[in-house]
Structure 1
Amino acid sequence: MVVKYKNNWIPTKTVEEMAKTDYDVLIVGSGPGGGAVLYRLCELWKNQGAKKIGIIEKGDKLFHSHSLNIPTQNVGTARDQLLPDNSTPLGKLLPQFSGATMVYALGGRSLFWNAATPRPIQSELNKWPIHRRTLNVYYGMAEKLLHTTRDFAKGSSMQNVMMKRLHGEGILEADDMPLAFDMTPSRQGEVHSNPWYSSINALAAANFDRPYDLAVNAYASRVHTANGKVSGVEVFTADKKSHTIRAKNVIVSASTLETPRLLLNSGIQGPAIGRYLTGHVSIIAVGTISRRRFSDKLGNLSILKFETDESPYQIQILGPDNYFSYQQFEDKVLRDELIIAYASFGRVESRAENRVYIDPAVKDEFGVPMQQVQYSLSNKDRQTADLVAKGIRESADAMGVTLMEETMAVRPPGADMHESCTCRMGDDPATSATNSHGQIHGVQGLFVADNSVLPSLTAAGPVLSNTALAIRLADHIVRQSG
């Protein structure tokens, strides 16, 4: 007899059950944006029993936590085995964005991200359609949710030595890297066993505040609108049956590549929907340094060279070898020559011609037209790539690291997993898809809460900004709902 146990570590409902409910808010997508807006809504409506919140996810339950929290994984196995086994190389269908990788699962790509959470450079935030004081408050709230810390490598001799070398050579932007990592110890019964943040943490926080309905394997194919208002979402189940889930407010958090696809396939009008696709020029370079240059108490390395107005890029400096993060069960075996990694991200210009659009000739298994991407780097972007390479070399020289020059190549577009801005917010409907709260221009109750809503992408990764804007959106919906 074969026994099949239920994967019920988080409560779920069927799409058929959710189609019988009228929701105050329905969230499409469970990544960082969807998770953050759900968390905040449940927190604010904790004692509002009549409010109905639903969230649907295209993929299935995969992990209960960030991959680096799983006892059998470490940096190397999560990157080289677990991610390829549990992701979709969407870039195979997108010649101009060939590095794109999607994770269709509860938690999305937050199950695998490296958790760097620097704030974007202030000079760019000043251009966003939100007052800087307001942004500052919501970035603080996002950092609290993500447990952002700069103490991850505190006390490491490698960290201390390398930081001094960088500063001594005039690279003053180098500092302890802010990470979404909960360093609170478990004690007196309070468990902190999931230190690396994924949106599963936000789903859990929401679940303990109030109940909500969650459906997995639920494929949103079309948003329903009438008379300038949203009314619900058409959802397919795995057996290709169509259902409509009704909602007063719909929040789309399906990803920078999937959200415009959903909106365009729904006939949502807006000249900027899908436009301004922005990623990073990215290089991941590797070098070596002698272990004899450090004390026996080596520790790990977690440094970020922050972006400046003069240097429009960031460099994450990580090591040694695969021991930036590793499981307590592992023997830390170090060679005489230690490997240092430089993961770098340079700014790309926001240009309307870089876009996601619908290709009606290519459809998925549900008969829904697929997206295609038009994307290229400008001359300025290529100059930024040269600056990134120069910055890596300068940092390596300052640290006494011998670079492996064969690793100094720009990665394919999309490989950074930072794509953003295809439904960016702004005041002008001609150049933005949403208003300053993330509502699609001209459609009451239809909002966007993923990386696509960012007005622009600095050298910083998008997750912290996405989370901050999602929390702010939840506050807006609660105010509007009374």
Structure 2
Amino acid sequence: MVIRYKNNWINTKPISDMVNTEYDVVIVGSGPGGGAVLQRLCQLWKDQGAKKIAILEKGDKLFHSHAQNIPTQNVNTSRDDLVPNNSTPLGQRLPQFSGATMVYALGGRSLFWNAATPRPIEEELRTWPINRRELDVYYRMAENLLYVTTDWAKGSSLQDQMLMRLHAAGILEAQDMPLAIDLSPSRQGEVHSNAWYSSINSLARGQLDRPYDLAVDAFVHKINTTPNGKRAAGVEVIDTKTKSNYTIRAKNVVVSASTLETPRILLNSGIQEPAIGRYLTGHVSMIAVGTVSRNQFSDRLGNLSVLKFETEDDPYQIQILGPDQYWSYQQFEDKVLGDQLTIAYAAFGRVESRPENRVYLESRLDEYGVPLQQVQYSLSDRDRQTAEQVEQGIRDSARAMGVTLDESTLVLRPPGADMHEACTCRMGNNPNTSATNRNGQIHGVQGLYVADNSALPSLTAAGPVLSNTALAIRVADHIVRQSR
């Protein structure tokens, strides 16, 4: 007899049991945005038992934590084994966005991200449709939720020496990299076992504040509205195991399904706002490696975690990591270092937001009879100039650090490979050039919100997760105020 155990580290509810409830909020997607909305709603409605919240995830339960919190993984095995085995290379059918990869699982791509959490450049934030002081409050909330720290390499001689070399060469924007890692020790009964942040952390924090309904294998393909189309009324969702379709009623719907999936859902729902799916923005990206002699550093080597921040003159950032796989590794591993240390440079440059770069529906249908999305995407001349600046920035940084680059690795990655795509339902005041208003609500449809990377008004060289989380918390606050 084969005994099979339930993967039940978080309670779920069958979709069929949810159809008789009208929810105050239904959240579509469990990545950083969806998780942040859920956590904040549970926090603010902690003592309001009448409120009903549901979160629907297209994938199944996969890991209970970020992959690098799993004892059998380090940064290399997670990247080389777990990601390929637990992701969908969507770019295989998106020829102009061929690097795109999705993770259909509870927690989404937050199960694998490298946790870099710099704020966007100040000059760009001033163009966003939110008061700068208010935005600062929500960034601080997001940094608190994600346990952002710059102490990952504290005390490392490698870190200290490399920062000194960069600064001496005039690269003054190189600093300790902010990361979403909880470095608090477990003590006095308080357990800190999930150092690397994933949205599983937010699901857990929410669950400990108040109950909510979670369904996995739940593919939301359509938003329902009232007969006049002016207000959200719920969602149509397919159970991917039985292929049965269900209607779930809700007063508010928050779509956080990803930059590529959210416009697909909205367009399939017949929502006619002209900017939905447009302004698709990613990064020009390179990952290069080089080596440096180990004998230049003391035995207190430690790790290397430097971020060269974006500036107005340099519209890119560089994450500088090392040595070898020991940027993040398990305490069980012997730290075996050769005479040459490997240093990695992960660089991301800004891409112009242009309406012709877009996500749209094509005639082909998926296995559930829902139109697939297609992508139109190209780089402008200015984007290609940025790519040249990225390459030169890597060379300058390596030279300053005394690192010998492997020239064969200095190659522009395919569009989408950075996993930073954003802006397809961007926030703004003008319905002709933005999909949502300043509160994240779709123009003209009350109670319908977007809270993922697609809602970002623009994408700087910084990764989108911190901004996504800050705006998602703000969406939750707005929903709570509107629900009083």
* Structure 2 residue corresponding to 1:258, chosen from 244, 257, 261: 261
Please list the CA deviations of residues 61-92 of structure 1 after superposition, one character each: whole Å capped at 9, or x if unmatched.
00000000000000111000000000000000
Give the match for residue 60 of structure 2.
60
Query: Structure 1: which 5+ residue stretches go unaligned?
Result: none
1:11-22 correspondence runs (5 A): 11-22=11-22
1:31-430 correspondence runs (5 A): 31-226=31-226, 227=228, 228-237=230-239, 238-360=241-363, 362-430=364-432
Give the match for residue 473 of structure 1.
475
Please list the CA deviations of residues 144-172 of structure 1 after superposition, one character each: whole Å capped at 9, or x if unmatched.
00000000100000000000000001000
- For the pair 1:441 / 2:439, whether they are aligned, the reply is no
Give the distance between the partners of 2:471 and 2:424, measured in 1 at CA: 15
Give the match for residue 23 of structure 1.
23
Give the distance between the partners of 1:74 and 1:125, measured in 2 at CA: 35
Q: Per-residue deviation at 1:7?
A: 1.1
Give the match for residue 460 of structure 2.
458
Q: Per-residue deviation at 1:20?
A: 1.5
SS of 1:317's equivalent in the other structure is strand
AA of the residue aligned to 1:187: R
AA of the residue aligned to 2:317: Q
Please list the CA deviations of residues 355-401 of structure 1 after superposition, one character each: whole Å capped at 9, or x if unmatched.
000002x1111000000000000000000000000000000000000
Q: Per-residue deviation at 1:194?
A: 0.3
Give the distance between the partners of 1:425 and 1:203, measured in 2 at CA: 25
SS of 1:134's equivalent in the other structure is helix
**TM score, norm. by length of structure 1:** 0.99
SS of 1:39's equivalent in the other structure is helix
Give the distance between the partners of 1:39 and 1:232, measured in 2 at CA: 20
Give the distance between the partners of 2:44 and 2:327, measured in 1 at CA: 37
Give the distance between the partners of 2:52 and 2:139, measured in 1 at CA: 27
AA of the residue aligned to 1:213: D
Please list the CA deviations of residues 215-241 of structure 1 after superposition, one character each: whole Å capped at 9, or x if unmatched.
000000111012211111000012111
Give the distance between the partners of 1:4 and 1:233, measured in 2 at CA: 33
SS of 2:243's equivalent in the other structure is coil
Give the match for residue 8 of structure 1.
8
Give the distance between the partners of 2:19 and 2:168, measured in 1 at CA: 62
Q: Per-residue deviation at 1:108?
A: 0.0
Please list the CA deviations of residues 1-32 of structure 1 after superposition, one character each: whole Å capped at 9, or x if unmatched.
11111111101100001111110000000000
SS of 1:289's equivalent in the other structure is strand
AA of the residue aligned to 1:158: L
Give the distance between the partners of 1:351 and 1:144, measured in 2 at CA: 33
Q: Per-residue deviation at 1:408?
A: 0.4
Please list the CA deviations of residues 309-339 of structure 1 after superposition, one character each: whole Å capped at 9, or x if unmatched.
0000000000000110000011111111110
Query: Structure 2: which 5+ residue stretches go unaligned?
Result: none
AA of the residue aligned to 2:161: V
Give the distance between the partners of 1:466 and 1:17, measured in 2 at CA: 31
Alignment: residue pair count: 481
SS of 1:323's equivalent in the other structure is helix
Give the distance between the partners of 1:41 and 1:239, measured in 2 at CA: 31
* Percent of residue pairs identical: 74
Give the distance between the partners of 2:439 and 2:407, measured in 1 at CA: 45
AA of the residue aligned to 1:344: A
Give the distance between the partners of 2:326 and 2:183, measured in 1 at CA: 17
Give the distance between the partners of 2:479 and 2:221, measured in 1 at CA: 24
SS of 2:324's equivalent in the other structure is coil
SS of 1:187's equivalent in the other structure is coil
Give the distance between the partners of 2:102 and 2:170, measured in 1 at CA: 39
SS of 1:2's equivalent in the other structure is coil
